[in-house]
Structure 1
Amino acid sequence: MNAETLKTTLPRDLMASVVVFLVALPLCMGIAIASGMPPAKGVITGIVGGLVVGWLAGAPLQVSGPAAGLTVLVFELVQQYGAAMLGPILLLAGALQLLAGRLKLGCWFRVTAPAVVYGMLAGILIVLSQLHVMLDGQPEASGLDNIGAFPAALWAALPFSGGGNGLIAASLGLLTIVCMWAWDRLKPQLLRLLPGALLGVAAATLAGLWLGLDVRRIEVPDNLADAISWLQPADLLAFADPGLLVAALAVAFIASAETLLSAAAVDRMHQGPRADFDRELTAQGVGNMLCGVLGALPMTGVIVRSSANVQAGARTRLSAMLHALWLLAAVVLLAALLEQIPIASLAGVLVYTGLKLIDLNALRQLGRYGRMAMLIHLATALTIVATDLLTGVLLGFALTLGQLAWQASRLRVTVVQEGRRVELRMQGAATFLKVPRLARALEGVPKNACVHVPMTHLQYIDHACMELLEEWQRANQASGARLIIEPRALTRRVEGRRRQAVHLAAAADGN
C-alpha cells in the first residue's frame, strides 16, 4: 500500500476499527464465558484474529475472533477433556485448515448444504444456553441440560424459594437486551455506528454499580500474560486419544464452513476486492494454531463484527488489525473497569444476538426447495440442542446424503404395448440399484417385440441398465426382437448446455 492510498483510507479504517472494537469487546468476553472459559481467553482470540489473521486474510474486510456458533462445541470439549486439552485440539484443527488452504480446498467448503449450515448456526442454540446465565446460573454441557437448568434457576431466583440474586441479575440482562433493541430501532443517523451492545452493557454496568447490586461479574487478570496458557510438549501426547482427533476435525470443519460462508456474505456487502477463500482458510489455520499455542478460544470469521466493519466504512485490512490493538489496550489499561461488568449483561448480549440469528427468511427460502430441506434444517438444529453440535452436523449431512441417494435411486418404469410395438418409458434415474425393477418390466415384454426406449424423462442411465437392455435384445434377437433407444432428448439437452457454455464464454470475453 503506497503512502497516497494509505492517506486516503486511513481515516475511514481508523473510525471503522473503533466501531468494531466496541462491538467485539462485549462479544469476545461473553462468548468466552458461554464457552466455560475466562473472558480474557476470548479477548486473546480477538487480538490474534485482528493482528495475525487480519494481516494474512484473504477476505480483507472480514473480522475474525471467537464465534458464538462454536460456544456449544467448545463448552462440551472443555467439560469432557479439560481446558488444557483445548490447546492441542486447536493446534491440530488449525493445521488441518492450513493444509486445506494450501491444497486449495477452500471452495469445497461452499458445497456444504445450506440446510445443514443454517441448522448449525441456529441462534436458538445460543439463546437456550444463555437464558439461565442471565439468572446468574452456570452454563451447562448440552442444550438439554441448559433447558433443564432454566426452570431450576428461575425457581431459585424467586423470593419465596429462599432468595438468591437471580432476578436482579436477570433485570440487568433484560436491560441490556432492551437497550440493544431500542438502539437498533431508534438510533439517530449521526450515531448509527455506535453499537447497541456497548450501550446495553454500559447501562447494565452503571445500573449495577449505582444500585450496589450483588451479582456475578467478570474476572479480568491484572496481567494479560496471566491468561495465556502456553501449550506444553507433554500436551501433544493427547493426540493418542481418537476422541481428540475427531474433535479437532469437527472444529476445523465447522470453523472453516462458518468463516467462508461469512466471507461470501461480506463480499455481497461491498464493491472492493473479492475474497480469496484459500488464502482466508490458510490465515484461519495460522490463527487457530496460534490460539492453540496460547490456550485461547477457537476463531472464525464472524459476520456481526465483519458487517459492522463494512458498514463503518472500512477500506482495507488495517481496520481489523487496529481493532485488535484497541482490544489489547482495553484489557491492559482498563482491567479494573471491565471487572465491573455483570455476567448477566454479557449473557443478554448473546441472547439478543442469538435471537437475531434466528433467520425466518432463510427458512422460507429453504421451503422453496421442498419440505426435505426444512426437515434437514430442523433435524440438525434440534439434534444439536438435544445432543451436541458434532452429532447434529453429522446427522444433517447423513440426511442430505440420504436425500441425494433417494433422488438418485428413484425410477418409474411403465410399459405401453400397441401390438408388436412396445414403449418402455423410464422416468428418474436408471442406476444399478434399479436393475431388478427394470428386469421385471422386461420379463413382461413379448420376445418378438420392437421395444422403443425414449430418454425424454430420464435424468441418468448407467452402464448396468444399458447392459441389461442390450442383453435383452441379444437374448431375444432370434425371435425377432428389436431395441431402439431414442436419445434425442438427451442429445438436445447436451447440445443446449454446450451452446449455453459457448454463449457465456463469449460474453465473458466481451467483458
Structure 2
Amino acid sequence: MHYSNPFKNFKNDIPASVVVFFVALPLCLGIALASGAPPFAGLIAGIIGGIVVGSISGSNIGVSGPAAGLASIVALAIKDFGGLDNGGFEILLVAVVMSGVIQIVLGILKAGIIGYYFPSSVIKGMLVGIGVIIISKQIPHFFGLDENYEGAWDFFQEDGENTITEILRIGEFISPGATLVGFIGLGILLLWNNVLNGKSKVFEIIQGPLVAVVVGIIYYVLTMDAGYWSISTDHLVKVPVPEDFDSFVGQFRFPDFSQALRGDVILVGFTIALVASLETLLCVEATDKLDPRKRVTPTNRELIAQGTGNILSGLVGGLPITQVIVRSSANIQSGGRTKMSAILHGFLLLASVILIPTLMNKIPLSVLAAILLVVGYKLAKPSTFKQMWKAGWRQFIPFIVTVVLLYFNFLLGVGVGLAIGIIVTLYQSFQNSHFLHATQSNEDGRNEVKMVLAEEVTFFNKATILKELDNLPQNTFLELDVRKTNYLDHDVIEILDDFKEKAKNRKINIKLISERGIIENPDSFLEFFKLRPIQDKFKFKR
C-alpha cells in the first residue's frame, strides 16, 4: 500500500494540527477528570497518541489519544485497586502496559480484519451519534453553565444530572461573558468556513479556530474586571502549571509491577485491550469513509501502533489510548492530508504543557465549545438522515438504532446496531451462499483480472472483496461480472464506488458486465444498481 510523503502537505497539515490541538486539549483533561485520574495523565496520553502512535500508524488522517469510552472502566479500576492516592493509579498503569502488549499480539495475529465486518449503516450511525453527542455536550460549555470538562460521553452523569437536564438549566445559570465570546468564536468559524476560505492563501494558513481562540484570550484579559461581562476562571482551560522543573517531573507516575500477577489486574488489562481495539477499529472504518482520498488504513498495523502507544503511556503515567473519532473527524474537516497533522498536534500538546501552560489557562471553554459544535454539525448533518432514509429500511433501522442508543452508551449503541444489521442481512441471505470468484490471466503482456460475484453478496463479503480489490496491481484491466448476482448488499456497492476513485489513481480500467449490457469505467456504481431495469434481475431492495 502506498502512502504519501508526510512532509509533502505541510500547508494543509499545519493548520489542521492546530485545530486538532484545540479540540484535543480540553478532551484530554476532561477524560482524565472523568476517569478519576490526574489531569496530567490525559495530556500524556494525548502527546503519545499524537507523536508515537501517529508515527507508527499507517493511517493518514486518524488521530489517537485518551478515549471517553474507556473512562468508566479506568475510574472503576482505580477505585477497586485502592484509590488515586493509595496506589490504585500505579496499579492501573500496569494494566495499561499489559493492554498494549495484548494489542500488539492481536496485530501480529491479524485480528484487525474484525473492523471490516461492521455494516456501513452502523458506522454511519456511529459518526452521526458522536456528532449529536458532541453538540449536546458542548451546549452547557458554550453558555458557561458546566464548569467541568466533558470527558465521559454517558447520558447519565455521576452528579445525578443528565445531558438534557443540564441543557434545560441554562437559563438559570447562564454566564453572559462566556456566552458572548462563544458566539463571537462561532461567528469567526462560520465566516472562515463559508466566506474567507479560498479568498486568499492567508485564510488557508491562518485557520478560523486559531483566530477564535486568540480573540477569546484577548476578550478574557480585557474583561477580567468587567463584572457582568467577565468570564469566571471556572470556565477556562485548566492545564497543570508546575512551579519548577522538579514539580514538572513529579507529575509523572510509574506502574507498580509488583502487582502484575494479580488476577484482577490481568482482567482489567484484557478488558482495556479489547475495548480499546474495538473502538480503534470502528474509528478506522469511520475515518476511512470520511477520507476524501478514500485511502485504506492497514488495521493490523494500527493495532500494533496502538499497542506500542499504550505500553509507553502506561510506563510514564498516561491513560489508555485509542484512535478517536472526534479528533480524527476534526482533522479531516480541517483539511489534514497526512499523518503529520496528528504528529504535530502531539508536539503542540507537549509544547503547551512545557512552555505556555499559563497562556493556555486563559482560553475560554466556550470558544473551544464553538469549535466542537462545528465539528459535531459536520458529523450529524440532516442530509445524512435523509440519505439513510432513502437507502431503505435495511439501512435506516440499524443506522437510527445506533444513533439513539449511542447517545446513552457507546458500546451499547454499536453492539445493538451491529446485531440488528446482522439479523437483517441473515433474513435476506439465509437461503443463498455467497462467495467471490477471481481468475487471473496474462495475455499479450496485459494484466487482466476477472471477478464474478456470487448470487448472494452481503456485507459479510466486505473484507474479502476489499482485500481483492486493494491487491490489484497498477495498470490492471478488471472485468467485473454481475450477471449471476441476485442480491448485492448496499455495503458492497459502496466498496465498489469507493474503489472507482482509487482505480483512477492506480490506472485500473473497469469493465462492468451485467444482463443490461457492458459499461466501461462506470461513473457511479451506486446510481447504476439503483436503475429500475436492473432491479428485475438484481432484486436489489433499498
- Asked if these proteins are the same fold (TM beyond 0.5), I'd say yes
In 2: Cα distance, 1:346 partner to 1:298 partner: 22
- Is contact 1:50–1:321 with CA below 8 Å preserved after alignment? yes
The DSSP-based 3-state class of the residue aligned with 1:285 is: helix
Q: Which of the numbers 174, 195, 200 marks the counterpart of 1:189?
A: 200
> Which one has the largest radius of gyration?
1
Please tell me the residue identity of whatever aligns with 1:493: K
The DSSP-based 3-state class of the residue aligned with 1:66 is: strand
Partner of 1:52: 52
The DSSP-based 3-state class of the residue aligned with 1:199 is: helix
Q: Which of the numbers 18, 24, 30 marks the counterpart of 1:22?
A: 18
Partner of 2:351: 329
**1:274-322, Cα deviation, whole Å (9 max, x unpaired):** 643322332122123323333235231643354368x4665xx556444
Measure how far apart 1:227 and its partner are: 4.5
- Is contact 2:47–2:65 with CA below 8 Å preserved after alignment? no
Please tell me the residue identity of whatever aligns with 2:280: A
Measure how far apart 1:88 and its partner are: 5.4
Measure how far apart 1:211 and its partner are: 0.9
Q: Classify 1:31/1:63 alpha carbon distance in 2 versus 1 (closer, same or farther; 3 Å).
A: same
Please tell me the residue identity of whatever aligns with 1:65: S
Q: Classify 1:234/1:379 alpha carbon distance in 2 versus 1 (closer, same or farther; 3 Å).
A: farther
- Is contact 2:55–2:343 with CA below 8 Å preserved after alignment? yes
Please tell me the residue identity of whatever aligns with 2:293: M
Q: Classify 1:406/1:260 alpha carbon distance in 2 versus 1 (closer, same or farther; 3 Å).
A: closer
Partner of 2:389: 367
The DSSP-based 3-state class of the residue aligned with 1:218 is: coil
The DSSP-based 3-state class of the residue aligned with 1:132 is: helix
Please tell me the residue identity of whatever aligns with 2:28: A
- Is contact 2:216–2:364 with CA below 8 Å preserved after alignment? yes
- Is contact 1:239–1:245 with CA below 8 Å preserved after alignment? no
Please tell me the residue identity of whatever aligns with 1:186: V
- Is contact 1:79–1:141 with CA below 8 Å preserved after alignment? no
Q: Which of the numbers 348, 352, 355 marks the counterpart of 2:377?
A: 355
Measure how far apart 1:148 and its partner are: 3.6
The DSSP-based 3-state class of the residue aligned with 1:299 is: strand
The DSSP-based 3-state class of the residue aligned with 1:143 is: coil
Partner of 1:493: 484
Q: Classify 1:369/1:133 alpha carbon distance in 2 versus 1 (closer, same or farther; 3 Å).
A: same
Partner of 1:66: 65
In 2: Cα distance, 1:287 partner to 1:250 partner: 15
TM (norm. structure 1) is 0.67
Partner of 2:125: 119
Q: Classify 1:183/1:78 alpha carbon distance in 2 versus 1 (closer, same or farther; 3 Å).
A: farther
In 2: Cα distance, 1:36 partner to 1:248 partner: 18
The DSSP-based 3-state class of the residue aligned with 2:484 is: helix
Measure how far apart 1:381 and its partner are: 1.9
The DSSP-based 3-state class of the residue aligned with 2:239 is: coil
User: Is 1:396 the equivalent of 2:417?
Assistant: yes
The DSSP-based 3-state class of the residue aligned with 1:58 is: coil
In 2: Cα distance, 1:296 partner to 1:247 partner: 11
Please tell me the residue identity of whatever aligns with 1:219: K
- Is contact 1:29–1:42 with CA below 8 Å preserved after alignment? no
In 1: Cα distance, 2:39 partner to 2:192 partner: 25
Q: Classify 1:254/1:146 alpha carbon distance in 2 versus 1 (closer, same or farther; 3 Å).
A: same
Unpaired segments ≥5 residues, structure 1: 1-5, 159-165, 410-427, 431-457, 461-491, 498-503
- Is contact 2:284–2:323 with CA below 8 Å preserved after alignment? yes
Q: How does 1:255-334 map to 2 (within 5 A)?
A: 255-263=280-288, 265-266=290-291, 268-269=292-293, 275-293=297-315, 294-296=317-319, 298-300=321-323, 302-304=327-329, 306-307=331-332, 311=335, 320-334=342-356
Please tell me the residue identity of whatever aligns with 1:233: F
Partner of 1:105: 111
Please tell me the residue identity of whatever aligns with 2:413: G
Please tell me the residue identity of whatever aligns with 1:154: I
In 1: Cα distance, 2:190 partner to 2:92 partner: 35
In 1: Cα distance, 2:333 partner to 2:164 partner: 35
In 1: Cα distance, 2:46 partner to 2:301 partner: 19
Q: Classify 1:326/1:36 alpha carbon distance in 2 versus 1 (closer, same or farther; 3 Å).
A: closer
Which structure is higher in helix share?
1
% identical equivalent positions: 20
Unpaired segments ≥5 residues, structure 2: 79-83, 225-229, 243-247, 434-454, 458-482, 489-502, 511-542
Q: Classify 1:94/1:146 alpha carbon distance in 2 versus 1 (closer, same or farther; 3 Å).
A: farther
The DSSP-based 3-state class of the residue aligned with 2:63 is: strand
Please tell me the residue identity of whatever aligns with 1:304: S
Q: How does 1:97-496 map to 2 (within 5 A)?
A: 97-121=103-127, 122=129, 123-134=131-142, 135-137=144-146, 138=148, 139=150, 142-144=154-156, 145-151=161-167, 153-157=169-173, 166-187=175-196, 188-190=199-201, 191-212=203-224, 213=230, 214-216=232-234, 217-223=236-242, 225-233=249-257, 236=260, 237=262, 239=264, 245-246=270-271, 248-263=273-288, 265-266=290-291, 268-269=292-293, 275-293=297-315, 294-296=317-319, 298-300=321-323, 302-304=327-329, 306-307=331-332, 311=335, 320-386=342-408, 388-408=409-429, 493=484
**1:94-136, Cα deviation, whole Å (9 max, x unpaired):** 4443233212233431221122222223200122222223334
TM (norm. structure 2) is 0.63
- Is contact 1:376–1:396 with CA below 8 Å preserved after alignment? yes
Please tell me the residue identity of whatever aligns with 1:256: L
- Is contact 2:102–2:270 with CA below 8 Å preserved after alignment? no
Measure how far apart 1:258 and its partner are: 0.2
Select between 40-49 and 349-358 the one with higher mean Cα deviation.
40-49
The DSSP-based 3-state class of the residue aligned with 2:213 is: helix
